[in-house]
């Protein structure tokens, strides 16, 4: 199984080794796609978690028991290749660099694995070639 989640930390949970325990105790592979951690305020992290179904379920139960808000990312961003004019506006606002200008072809490439569905690209696309789809 492989899914993406937004973890929202409360002030009293940011000092816990949460992602370490996902790997060590639940044998899950994680990729931190985006994080904003602050010791004096609520914080968030976008994680992609991968593992077998049993460990995955146990790991999610662990996260929920840690006083975190765990929200699955149930949307995906897609680009209409026929509409795209490769202007690069979307790449300029993409925080995880999922959209980027290929220096060899001067076209905008889209690495869907890096996308965190923040929707910044959707808002700025002048030809409306980028859309959000919900699972």
Tens-place pLDDT, residues 59-105: 999 988 888 888 887 767 899 999 999 999 999 999 889 999 999 99
**29-42 mean pLDDT:** 82
Number of folded domains that form the chain: 2
Same domain, 36 and 84: no
Distance CA 64, CA 66 (A): 5
Distance CA 129, CA 15 (A): 41
Same domain, 82 and 107: yes
Same domain, 84 and 64: no
Distance CA 124, CA 31 (A): 27
Distance CA 42, CA 79 (A): 33
What was the pLDDT predicted at 103? 95
Q: Are 23 and 29 in contact (CB under 8 A)?
A: yes
Q: Which two tokens stand for residue 16?
A: 């816990």
Same domain, 89 and 60: no
Residue 7 sits in a domain whose CATH number is 3.30.70.260
pTM confidence score: 0.60
Q: Are 18 and 45 in contact (CB under 8 A)?
A: no
Same domain, 23 and 45: yes
- Secondary element (H or E) of residue 121: helix 120-124
Same domain, 62 and 105: no
Q: What residues make up the domain containing 32? A: 2-72
């Amino acid at each position: 199984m492989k899914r993406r989640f937004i973890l929202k930390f409360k002030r009293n949970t940011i000092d816990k080794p949460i992602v370490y325990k996902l790997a060590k105790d639940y044998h899950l592979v994680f990729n931190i796609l985006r994080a904003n951690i602050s010791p004096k305020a609520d914080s968030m992290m976008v994680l992609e978690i991968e593992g077998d179904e049993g460990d995955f379920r146990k790991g999610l139960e662990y996260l929920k028991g840690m006083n975190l808000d765990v929200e699955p990312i149930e949307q995906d961003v897609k680009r209409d290749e026929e509409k795209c004019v490769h202007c690069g506006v979307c790449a300029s606002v993409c925080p995880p660099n999922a959209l980027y200008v290929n220096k060899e072809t001067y076209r905008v490439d889209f690495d869907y694995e890096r996308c965190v569905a923040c929707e910044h690209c959707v808002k700025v696309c002048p030809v409306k070639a980028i859309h959000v789809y919900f699972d």
